Amino acid sequence: MDGVRDSLVDRAVGRVFRAAARCRGARALHPRGVVLGGRVRLTGTVGRRWGVALLDEPARHAVLARLSSAVGTPEGVPDALGLAVRIVDGAGPGRAVDLLFTTAGDGPVGRRLPLPCGDVLGRTYSGLLPYRAGDRRCLLAAVPFRRRLRVRPEEEAVRRAVAEGPLRFDLVVAGPWEGWRPFGRLSLEGPVGAGAAPEPSFDVHAHAADRLAPAGPVQALRPAAYAGSRAGRGAELR
């Protein structure tokens, strides 16, 4: 019975996201954004081992990232911001790892709640939803290095900011009620040309790190939501 119920819920979620993407002609969520190239230096988590190579082992990788508005509100209406990161070969040769973050509050409760932000570097970007790392749960986030002048969340403003210097973030991880611990440094260094390659379809289930699995009932709905959004805008998983 649970399987039937889950299947019905998945189909309903898929239909909603497919309809939203078709109506917008873009992603159901995070419809407007700019794709940037860069690199990540993984250091291992300070003072902790998780049994997950991505969080434990030093490494360097190229990345593709997308900075976006979360809902796509009209101009002048506050919106949360999104940061999607694809770590190229993050799970081994030919196996990317996708991480998705949204501007959020602070503290163990606040970091689970999306918040609007008018500055690309103005708030912590939280994963909002938990992962299972081995036999433990954790939350991931990206903490920006702030600049003296704010970076407005519009494509041209982001491009100008990157032209002045990389946008940098600390990648951090925490247990459910713990403080953040750094495990890497993300540097976004320049826009990716429109003709370079199709824009990535970020998907934390299809592009997951070994032994780091999305956990919980809301995370379980994401595959249907992603598939519906791709179908609605005629995109492929890539």
Reported as a single tens digit per residue, the pLDDT across 119-156 is 999 999 999 999 999 889 999 999 999 888 899 999 99
Predicted confidence at residue 147, as pLDDT, reads 87
Print burial letters for 66-97: b (CB count within 10 Å at least 16), e (below 16): bbbbbbbeeeeeebbbbbbbbbbebbeeeebb
Distance from C-alpha of 115 to C-alpha of 32, rounded to nearest angstrom: 17
Map out the domains of the chain as residue ranges: 34-212
Predicted confidence at residue 4, as pLDDT, reads 45
Predicted confidence at residue 29, as pLDDT, reads 65
Q: In 10 A of CB 126, how many CB atoms?
A: 28
pLDDT at 3 over 50: yes
> What is the C-alpha R_g of the chain?
17
Distance from C-alpha of 231 to C-alpha of 14, rounded to nearest angstrom: 9
Q: Which residue has the higher pLDDT, 53 or 230?
A: 53
Q: Do the beta carbons of residue 133 and residue 212 sit within 8 Å?
A: yes
Distance from C-alpha of 166 to C-alpha of 168, rounded to nearest angstrom: 6
Distance from C-alpha of 199 to C-alpha of 203, rounded to nearest angstrom: 13
Q: Which residue has the higher pLDDT, 70 or 6?
A: 70
Please tell me the CATH superfamily of domain 34-212, with its number.
Catalase core domain (2.40.180.10)
Q: Do the beta carbons of residue 228 and residue 18 sit within 8 Å?
A: yes
Distance from C-alpha of 14 to C-alpha of 175, rounded to nearest angstrom: 31
pLDDT at 184 over 70: yes
pLDDT at 59 over 80: yes
Question: How much is the average pLDDT of 151-170?
Answer: 95
From 196, 120, 187, select the one nearest 157 (Cα to Cα): 120
pLDDT band at 5 (very low <50, low <70, confident <90, very high): very low
Predicted confidence at residue 149, as pLDDT, reads 86
Question: How much is the average pLDDT of 190-210?
Answer: 81
Predicted confidence at residue 58, as pLDDT, reads 98
